[in-house]
Amino acid sequence: MKKLRAEETEAISRISSLVLVNAMIFQEILSKHREFSVAPLEKVLNEENVLSAFSSQWREILKINYYPIFHLARELLLQIPSDPAFTMLKSLADAAQRIVGLRAALRHDLMGRVYHKLLADKKYLATYYTRVPSALLLLKLALGGDAFARRWHDFNDLMDFRIADLACGTGTLLMAAADTVTDNYVGASVKAGKPLNFIDIHQVIVEKIIHGYDVLPSATHLTASTLALRAPEIAFKGMNLWSIPMGGPLISLGSIDFVKGKNVFVRRDLFGAVRQGKKLSGKGEKEFEYAHLPDLDLCVMNPPFTRSVGGNLLFGSLEDKERVKAQDRLKKLVKRYYLKANITAGLGAVFVAVGDSYVKRGGRLALVLPKALVSGVAWEPTRKLLAENYQVEFLVASHDPERWNFSESTNLSEVMLVARKLEINEDVSNKPTVVLNLWRNPDTAFEALAIYHTLKSKPAPPGPQGQGALEFSLDRSSGREKLGEAMAFPWQEIRSWPAWMLPCAFAQSDLIRAAYFITKGELWLPGRKGFAPVPLKPLKDFATLGPDRRDIHDGFNVCQHATAFPAFWGHDAQAMTNIEQKPNAFLMPLAEAKASRTLRKAEDLWPLAGRIMLGERIWLYTQRMLCLRVSEKVLSNMWWPVSFKEPFRSEEIEKALALWLNSTMGLLLVLANRQETRGAWIDFKKPVLEALPVLDLGGLNAGQLGQLAGAYDEVCREELRPFPEMAKDPVRARIDAAVEQALGLPDVSVLRVMLAREPVVCLKRI
């Protein structure tokens, strides 16, 4: 058995306390309903033996119902030593009474929020749970209004409606789904003149519509209690919530095992110890061998997205030997069932592929995923899956430097999307994708609803061809605050792109328009009529990129004494202030391969050295250049070396490319193709840079090349300011002026000013 670390033991103790508090909260609420003979907490605390009193009270409650909540809590209770029991239970009960006094908070998964803070396995399971306002916005977009042609006031029409979360955690997304279905029911009933029956609609939601699956039994327990707290007076006949095993003798993979079929063999109960299957129901555990996943109208997920790189923490909560077996089984399942998912992207990509196989035509996926989804090379199979089978209706990105994410306890950049599964041979030529670029990531449900209702009341203007944007705003005591902008892009066009970063690359819609048109070889400026042609070609037409850092480390060691192999090492923003640089290190070929690696030969790597360096990983806030030129050919660990093809090997072409990539237009194109990891932390993969549109070096005449090379010579040793200061950087202004003059273009300073105030660049809210 895996030995627990001290911090894991402490976290388990805290989560156990949370389960006990949760049960006490429910007991206190039940005591207020006359139809139940349940004692309030105050009465139990006045008993001589408090531990025995709680145990007896919860045993009686179990006879009534609420097995999902009280069975686990009572089992934990019985493990408490009698001596410290009174002090401990008194403290927990006091907390429970205070929380009940804030009853409104319980509707928004308060216990789930606390649970997320305490979860010990979060690092290895990548269980970053969705924030409540984010969940509400996502589910409103997926389920609200006329998203589904259902008679929401007719219970018979809802009996076959199915919503599932394959990684439900504490049920935040399922709660938001339940709230949205309830809102739809109320609206439809009022419109049809039908009386409201909240008991029946909630019973239908919990017993028929909602399905949840997770590998953490304590999380599933909280999902059950959170759903039940919506109407504690209801005695549910059953809940479709399962704790799915991971690891074990069968090398189970949690919900991923649904790729094999709708029924997954389950070998443990809520606690993970009992080896026969158990399903959570209202009055107790039901013996069963399989957890069932039906065909879905909506699959909503914030799946775990641990990646298989950087130490490979896929299934990281398992023992080492068991983890290796699980990783091997995952590879085989992906291959055997032809899943459109790249394991390098992480488990999130696999979960999307599994969920897709259960979504009905006309049904939807509603997802919270890393922002790498829209640009990452490893996420390309997932984009292809969506492009072939879905219409992405909504794409939501946060440009709030105080919160790039939609999940708890992470600062990774994320996106949310809603995608509708297409009918057979459906024409999507007139279907839009509405892109929401948030300036303020909503802090409250009220802000999330304000965004949703604005979106439903007004159409988002067409992104490329239109002007302006649909603005989301709220009236504050300090004035009107803008929450973001939305534009509509043709889905037919987006689905044809290899990456989807462009529509959500920037917070400012006009900057997105400028990037869109320059990608097509046309310079568009806000407030200026017409377009100016900009000759562009993919970088791969002129050059190839050198080896990545892994290959360098497999062939060389870095050293400071002179060798035949100069290098450009690191990315020190304070030292690298100008475009022209010199080698700052040397490389020594390895005599033998490093442990568990393959030796790379110097004669294979060195021909890929170059003088032009393109940034591989960049921190936009402090750094100054995405491209520089070294005085001699080098290899690097933080930069992609560029080696030119035979017709383009000249100093003038090198200088022209270096100048272009440090101009505002070049920077705009590069940033529109970035892979965003965490706000201003961005990186660039080789396939993306190879396809990057750059100045058509082969189409420039001798005069233009001479102008650009001459301008490079004038500025290459001048100090550039960090990117956030580009609007007032005289050197960058000279670079832009030189490019404008050589190509006959108008003044682009307006784009430089706009780019400088982008949150991803300056880390400030607009």
pLDDT band at 286 (very low <50, low <70, confident <90, very high): low
- Regarding whether 561 and 441 lie in a shared domain, the answer is no
What is the value of pTM for the model shown? 0.88
- The CATH number assigned to the domain holding 218 equals 3.40.50.150
Final residue of a structural domain among 452, 470, 505: 452
Q: Which residue has the tokens 């992104």?
A: 463
Looking at the fold, whether 352 and 319 belong to one and the same domain comes out as yes
The reported pLDDT for the residue numbered 88 is 86
137 and 29 in one domain? no
Q: Do 667 and 733 have their domain in common?
A: yes
More confident residue, 420 or 288: 420
Query: Above pLDDT 90, what percent of the chain?
Result: 68
Cβ atoms of 531 and 517 closer than 8 Å = yes
Average per-residue pLDDT in the chain?
Answer: 89
User: What is the pLDDT at residue 272?
Assistant: 35
Question: Which region among 197-201, 238-242, 333-337 has the lowest average model confidence (pLDDT)?
Answer: 238-242
Is there a contact between 231 and 262 (Cβ–Cβ < 8 Å)? no
User: C-alpha angle with apex 302: 244 to 347, nearest 5 degrees?
Assistant: 65
Q: Do 735 and 645 fall into the same domain? A: yes
Question: How confident is residue 11, by pLDDT bands cut at 50, 70 and 90?
Answer: low
Mean pLDDT over residues 229-246, rounded? 79
Indicate whether 399 belongs to any domain.
yes
The yes-or-no verdict on residue 375 having pLDDT over 50 is yes
pLDDT of 269 reads: 38
Q: Which domain holds residue 30?
A: 6-101
Q: Looking at residue 306, what is its pLDDT?
A: 65
pLDDT for the residue 751? 98
Query: pLDDT exceeding 70 applies to what percent of the chain?
Result: 90
Q: Does residue 151 lie in a domain region?
A: yes
- The contacts of residue 183 (CB under 8 Å, 6+ apart) are 144
Burial class (CB in 10 A: 0-12, 13-18, 19+), 639: buried
Between 24-28, 142-146, 499-503, 610-614, the lowest mean confidence (pLDDT) is in 24-28
Asked if residue 497 belongs to a domain, the reply is no
pLDDT (0 to 100) of residue 320: 77
On whether residue 119 sits in a domain, the answer given is: no
In terms of domains, do 23 and 140 share one?
A: no
Note whether residue 527 is domain-resident: no
Q: What is the mean pLDDT of residues 220-235?
A: 77
| Three-state DSSP state, 481 | strand
Q: How high is the pLDDT of residue 319? A: 74
Domain C-terminal end among 437, 452, 467: 452
* Percent helix, percent strand, percent coil in the chain, to nearest 5: 45, 20, 35
Closest CA to 70 of 12, 14, 20: 20
Q: Are residues 653 and 688 in the same domain?
A: yes
Same domain flag for 286 and 413:
yes
Q: Confidence band (pLDDT; 50, 70, 90) for 126?
A: very low
Domain ends where: 49, 66, 101? 101
- The verdict on 91 and 129 lying in the same domain is no
Are residues 84 and 69 in contact, defined by beta-carbon separation less than 8 angstroms? Answer: no
DSSP reduced 3-state for 434: strand
Which CA distances in Å does 329 have to 93, 249, 392, 643?
Answer: 45, 13, 31, 41
Most confident of 31-45, 136-150, 281-295: 136-150
Is residue 503 included in any domain, yes or no?
no
Please indicate, yes or no, whether residues 147 and 89 belong to a single structural domain of this protein: no
Structure tokens at 256: 């991923």
Same domain, 687 and 547: yes
Q: How many domains does the chain have?
A: 3
pLDDT at 268: 44
The stretch 465-476 carries a mean pLDDT of: 91
* Nearest of 53, 102, 118 to residue 80 by alpha carbon: 53
Whether residues 448 and 566 share a domain: the answer is no
Domain annotation covers residue 137: yes
